[in-house]
Amino acid sequence: MRIFLFSVLVFWTLNTSAQQNLGYQTPHKSIMDLIDVDLPPSTYMDTDKNYMLLLSRNQYKTIEELSQQELRLAGLRIDPKTNIGSRTTYFNKIQIKSLKKKNAKTNLVKGLPANPRITNFSWSPDQSKMAFTNTTSDGVELWVMDIAKAEAKKISDATINANLRYAINWFEDGTALLVKMLPENRKPLIDTKISVPSGPTISVNDGKKAQNRTYQDLLKNKNDEFNFEQLALSKLVKVSLDGKISKWLPADMYNMVRFSPDGNYVMISTVEKPFSYLVPYRRFPSKTSIYTKDGQLVNTINEVPLIEDLPKGFMSVRTGRRSLDWRDDKAAILIYAEALDGGDANIEAEYRDQVFQLEAPYNGQAKPLIKTKNRYRYIDWATDQTAIAHDYWWNTRNTKSYSFNPSDVTQAPKIIVDRSYQDRYSDPGDFVTTRNKYGSSVLALKDGAAYRLGDGYSDKGQFPFLDKYDLKTQKTTRVYQSNFTDKVESLTDYDVKKNKLLVRIESPSEYPNYSFRDLKDQSLTPITAYENPYKGIQNVQKELLKYKRADGVELSGTLYFPLDYDKTKKYPMILWAYPREFKDKSSANQNTQNPNEFTYPYWGSPIYWVTRGYVVLDDASFPIIGEGENEPNDSFRSQLVANAKAAIDAVDKKGIIDRNRVAVGGHSYGAFMVANLLSHSDLFAAGIARSGAYNRTLTPFGFQSEERNYWEAPKVYNTMSPFMHADKMKSALLLIHGEADNNSGTYPMQSERYFNALKGLGANVRLVMLPKESHGYRAKESILHMLWEQDQWLEKHCKNKGAKGNKELRP
């Protein structure tokens, strides 16, 4: 389908008049054929696997949708007219299939609204119903769907406030929902475009260090503060299934709303003042209180001040109660963690955190449960005597799991896992859970054993597994392991009682489909039968390419051959990658790619270019390793170039490419990689850098996995910044950036200023700013134009490099 060229992109620089007005373009037909496809629906099943919901949506938004009014406040992007996230993904069709009957037909849900925009799905406690919201032009409505009948009906008008999530929550009896609704006394918003300032905006600091990442969409002035407060305000009401609305709590800035497992209590947090211009709303002051199911205050259990000045380091946390949650195996017991090291990751401590539990009425002495050597993550609950706690420590990439007895804290916890979480080969998998009588997720146990599902990566390939873990003896027994060598069988769930696995099977040309695998006889019962929507590349030849870096580090990438592959020819090549930091070589050496995965050309993929006569090395390994006291970024550039050279050498050894016609591409940190490679190597004819950051002095308090600030490691910041080395640019570089990028550190200014520097120094560079787009691109017009830009750039500067009569890019 052709896109009407009604909008204009402007390729520009702040300091010169070299602009090019160009409407949205569409790429070559072979690429378009892979874009204009209808994807199979997403699947959503109840816990007992009695029903399967099939949810369909448009693969892309339109530029018109992205152009609707949007307020960017405190880390949020809000549609002030509808009171929901302005970039929310909506579903537009729901079908239901019974899994209890063989060959049951799929039913389209009756009663859905016209032109539905559906989200916020929530199962009822007994999973017989599903609540969801529908966004209209006027606001957000509440709907409820009967699963067995495949019927939906509207419960409330468009008065829901979904700006701070947790918009709808079921009462335990399943007859009503607790809903955030717009309060009657909400004041009109200030139009910041026409408002007259009453004075300057002033920020102060009392001498404390407040080293924060470069967050975007922050509050900037008093008008923003006012608008944020009005958009955050909601009242809590009880809405019965017949549409009756009754008061529950008056207007406040309600954030989290969570019922206790038995439904008798509700934990509610509110956003408090003062607001901040330095951090997003999730670090504003907050208050957490417990209410009865009738809306009566029981106790306030936590009050958190503004968090602007945490100690330095990724593992530093605030003091006081945090990670508040309900204990899943009990009716209404609260659990939370507190730092034992003052929240300062730089202080040596035998134990970092301690976990406590607190019983109703939540005002007594909390009971300590377990101390963790690293930062607490979460607990898998099971019985009075059995639970498994998990922690992690970023600096060493270590994670531990502890088996402990919640009823007897005098029993020392047993460490059952102690490993690097980057070591995928030793990953024991995640514990299987099931619903208990409260509808909460707890460990699925049988005869004193728990079960784990693992991805099964190894030096021989990927073979997902199910293990039985004896909690008493700590002995592990392999129950099942996939043995496919030409497909991927992902194990997504295990029913302990029925001894059945829910699996998803795919191959390079077979779209992922679900089946039940009965472990009694290994038989498979298909559930879905989705066809491959990407017929144009279903026969593309690909393989897992393994090779080594000069220092012996083992690398890999997925190699795709052009559709017109002829072994007597040499082709241009595109290398696409994303650097990843490691603290040990053994983890960096591991391969976690599987060539048997379905070939899926998502919007940002380089795979499209197999249709245009290119070899593509996708997801090439680009490890950046820093062992012991050395940080990965201390040798970032040299490792980057070594990774790239090894990749090109490995493909060149197969005799299929012309190494003078190799391009490199990447998104975000991958774009940062591209700019560095083009400045510090002569390996590439051209590069594509999307939504990157190029001047690290603009992110002075850390970036990616770098904890040190600029003043602690100025050499690292300057050495790694392509902006500082713009005079060394050796190849043609295409810069693409969403002008509404909200990702930390990748301000659109990064590309604009880098382009100015490169242009001023005479580099061959092109800047494309995509209107209304964020860090990832959503509008179909934007994506098609991006693909056109990339295709034109590669044709000129890679495939036909040096060809006579090579013109500037034109539609």
Q: Which residues are part of the catalytic machinery?
A: 668, 741, 775
Beta carbons of 268 and 63 less than 8 angstroms apart: no
As a whole number of angstroms, the distance between CA 293 and CA 295 comes to 5
Task: Please classify residue 277 by burial: count the beta carbons closer than 10 Å to its beta carbon, then call 0-12 exposed, 13-18 middle and 19+ buried.
Answer: middle
As a whole number of angstroms, the distance between CA 226 and CA 80 comes to 13
CA nearest to 794, candidates 536, 602, 573, 540: 573
The secondary structure of 723-755, three-state, reads: HHHHHHCCCEEEEEEECCCCCCCCCHHHHHHHH
Q: Which two tokens stand for residue 607?
A: 């795979």
As a whole number of angstroms, the distance between CA 642 and CA 640 comes to 5
With b for 16 or more beta-carbon neighbours within 10 A and e for fewer, the 384-403 pattern comes to eebbbbbbbbbeebbbbbbb
SS3 assignment, position 368: strand
| DSSP-assigned states of every residue in 131-142 | EEEEE-SS-EEE
The secondary structure of 405-440, three-state, reads: CCCCCCCCCEEEEEEECCCHHHCCCEECEEECCCCC
**Single-letter amino acid code for the residue at 545:** L
Degrees, nearest 5: CA angle 715-716-719: 80
As beta bridge partners, residue 338 has 354
Neighbours of 188 (CB within 10 A): 7
Phi, psi of 412 (to 5 degrees): -65, 135
Count H helices and E strands in the chain, helices first: 9, 51
Phi, psi of 119 (to 5 degrees): -160, -170
Q: Secondary structure of the chain: what % helix, strand, coil (to 5)?
A: 15, 35, 50
Neighbours of 293 (CB within 10 A): 19
Beta carbons of 769 and 751 less than 8 angstroms apart: yes
Neighbours of 801 (CB within 10 A): 20
With b for 16 or more beta-carbon neighbours within 10 A and e for fewer, the 438-462 pattern comes to bbbbbbbbeeebbbbbbbbbeeebb
CA nearest to 626, candidates 553, 701, 531, 735: 553
In the block, tokens 């080293």 appear at 211
| DSSP-assigned states of every residue in 155-208 | EEEEEE--TTS--EEE-TTSSEEEEEE--TTPPPPP-TTTPPPSS-------S-
Beta carbons of 585 and 553 less than 8 angstroms apart: yes
As a whole number of angstroms, the distance between CA 594 and CA 488 comes to 8
Phi, psi of 435 (to 5 degrees): -85, 135
Rg (CA), the chain: 28
As a whole number of angstroms, the distance between CA 293 and CA 266 comes to 6
CA nearest to 166, candidates 262, 63, 252, 73: 252
